[in-house]
Amino acid sequence: MAAPRRDTRGIVDAPELFTQVRFRRREPAAELRPYLEHYWLMDWDLSEPYASHLVPHPSVNLVFQRYADGPAATDGAGDAGTAGHTGFAEVSGIGLGLFTQKLAGRGRVCGVQFRPGGFRPFAPGRPVAEWTGRRLPVHDVFAPPAPASAVLDPAEEDARVAALDRYLLALGPRPDPQAERAMALVELVRTDRTVRRVDELARAEGLSPRSLQRLFAAYVGVGPKWVILRYRIHEALERAESERRVDWAALAAELGYSDQAHLIRDFTSTVGAPPTAFAAR
């Protein structure tokens, strides 16, 4: 990975978010790049409350956070975060539904987005599917516990990034050929629109569909069908936000749907509004 990606896929109304918070991505230490997408940092000082919305990627996140006013976050599992003036850290498994974070007052977040398949080398004892849809205090997943103050306190952004590097390197991620295989397969789904079916992906990798399912449960946290669907919805969401008029029937065919109705159903269930209503909004 030469640099953190610059796209806003998954962020609902990214331009509005960027007017409310200071958001940026940073590159981790070289030894960590095989496992991580990037670090993501946010700071805000709001006069009025604001709610951000995200259609999550198939990635586990480690999140250090501090809120002057206690947070209220919801996701598909209905979990909620814990308020903390001193800061706290949690492991956030893959979110199955729309994630909403309500922000107020002042706050800071320093997040680690693992590559899909890249979390397991840091916690090899349990399948990644055990964390899916859950948000857990970091000490329930890693030992030693994460130093929230060391990550969140420094005024200099470089110092926060360095603290993240130190903590993750101390965890000693263990190289795992199966993790590498899972990461490569998810990247293929993300970048190759012709991959539309689980059996096609399994056949390309020389696996049975059942073996592919087991690999994804152990190393990604969700099944390959879910990953294919989620990247389709990210594409549809981006098109709805960036184009004045979207030919939804043509887009459904382009994304591999049998018809427009199936795309509308999946988009509505994930984003919470039909695509035409979302685009108009």
CATH of the domain spanning 177-280, picked from 3.40.50.150, 3.40.50.300, 1.10.10.60, 3.30.420.40 = 1.10.10.60
CATH of the domain spanning 11-170, picked from 1.10.3470, 1.10.10, 2.60.120, 3.40.50 = 2.60.120
Question: What is the share, in percent, of the chain residues with pLDDT greater than 90?
Answer: 67
Q: Where in the chain is the domain with CATH 2.60.120?
A: 11-170
* Mean pLDDT, rounded, of the chain: 89
**More reliable by pLDDT, 146 or 8:** 8
Residue 10 has pLDDT above 80, yes or no: yes
Q: In the prediction, which pLDDT does 130 show?
A: 95
Residue 187 has pLDDT above 70, yes or no: yes
Sheet holding 88-92, edge to edge: 22-26, 36-45, 106-114, 61-67, 88-92, 135-137
Q: Where in the chain is the domain with CATH 1.10.10.60?
A: 177-280
Helix %, strand %, coil % of the chain (to 5): 40, 20, 40
Q: 0.85 exceeded by the pTM? A: yes
- Mean predicted confidence (pLDDT) in 216-226: 97
Over residues 46-100, the pLDDT tens digits come to 999 999 999 999 999 999 999 876 554 545 443 334 444 568 999 999 999 899 9
pLDDT band at 109 (very low <50, low <70, confident <90, very high): very high
Q: In the prediction, which pLDDT does 116 show?
A: 97
Concatenating the DSSP letter of every residue in 206-272 gives T--HHHHHHHHHHHTSS-HHHHHHHHHHHHHHHHHHH-SS--HHHHHHHTT-SSHHHHHHHHHHHHS
Q: Which tokens sit at 111?
A: 């997040």
User: Residue 52 in contact with residue 99, Cβ under 8 Å?
Assistant: no
Residue 121 has pLDDT above 90, yes or no: yes
